[in-house]
Amino acid sequence: MLRQIGFIGLGIMGSGMAKNLVKAGYPLNVYNRSLEKAEGLEKIGAFVAKSPKEVSARSGAIITMLSDSPAVENVILGDNGVLEGIRKGSVIVDCSTISPRVSVKIANEAEKKGVEMLDAPVAGSKRQAEEGTLIFLVGGKKQVYEDNMQILKAMGKNSFYIGQNGMGSYMKLVMNMINAINLQALAEALVFGMKAGIDPDLMVEIINSTGARSGGSEAKGKSMIKGNYETAFALKLMCKDMNLVREETRNLDVPTPTTSIVNELYTMAKVKGKSDLDYSVIMEVMKEMAGISQKQ
């Protein structure tokens, strides 16, 4: 019989990931601060716990998918948290995008309890979480990664071992630096072309047929020109990640002039009340700055 899995955090990403664990046959114990988000999983056989402590007491592996560093610290280290109920020999797999230094801190606290931890943030968004095609970027002990690879395979199509604790978190920040800059560049270029009079649909088709294409242009180009910013990855989360990038690059004395400018532009979009929309909504900020209305 497959071991009991705990899952904490049933938001846009976590709900799809948890459902794929149930589909793979894992007995699942779940917790979410808003209990209504757990109802769908309860209907397909998951046990709904009353606290992170109860989840860990029932589970041999506990997966967390939460919004930020304070949330992960609270759920794992706080009162009624994961470490209060966990059994020696268990493993925590944190799939959140958080500070690498916080990730290392939590791993060290877990080790005091005889518990292993992997930081395993994901590449992908809501659709990939639902389809089970995420990519995991893993930091921690290699043997622990190998021992838990089947759990990751139930939720994703691939995983990469990056190195010691914190390295998975660093790799995720590297990727989101690129994603944020690429989408800002795409938004600027599309606005330029639109104001010059190029047909937007034709422009996206050409971009995606040439070396100018990117994952962002292929996934979001068409929706951006239509003003459709349905949330796959919320702007507020990209702002959070860009702030983490700023903290960690300063800590390592790495100059990031382009990233700093892009960070300010995403912050501008957040201040304009667009936090809960997809981060591709940066297009609207650029259109406004260029004097382009939605109808154009």
Q: What's residue 294's pLDDT?
A: 56
**Same domain assignment for residues 63 and 9:** yes
Domain co-membership, 129 together with 230: no
CA distance 10 to 40: 10
Q: Which of 117, 136, 164 is the last residue of a domain?
A: 164
Which pLDDT score is estimated for 37? 86
Of 117, 147, 164, the residue at which a domain comes to its end is: 164
83 Cβ contact list (under 8 Å, min separation 6):
56, 76, 77, 109, 110, 113, 115
Same domain, 13 and 83: yes
Q: Write down the pLDDT at residue 296.
A: 44
| One domain, residues 21 and 153 | yes
Are 151 and 196 contained in the same domain?
Answer: no
Listed in sequence order, the DSSP H helices in the chain are 14-23, 39-43, 52-58, 69-77, 82-85, 100-112, 126-131, 142-147, 149-155, 167-196, 200-207, 215-225, 235-251, 257-271, 282-290
Q: Alpha-carbon Rg of the chain, whole angstroms? A: 20
- Give, in degrees to the nearest 5, the angle at Cα 38 between 33 and 44: 160
Clarify whether residues 67 and 178 are in a common domain: no
Shared-domain flag, residues 283 and 179: yes
**Residue where a domain terminates, one of 147, 164, 181:** 164
Question: Is residue 271 domain-shared with residue 187, that is, in the same domain?
Answer: yes
For the chain, list residues with pLDDT below 50. 296
Active-site residues, by number, are 172
Query: Which residue segment(s) compose the domain that 71 sits in?
Result: 5-164
Looking at residue 64, which CATH number applies to its domain? 3.40.50.720
Give the model confidence (pLDDT) of 102-157 as tens digits.
Answer: 999 999 999 999 999 999 999 998 999 999 999 999 999 999 999 999 999 999 99
Q: 65 lies in a domain?
A: yes
Ramachandran angles phi, psi of 122, nearest 5°: -115, 150
Does 150 map to a domain? Answer: yes
What distances in angstroms separate CA 248 from CA 20, 103, 208, one per listed residue? Answer: 33, 13, 33
pTM beyond 0.85: the answer is: yes
296 domain-assigned: no
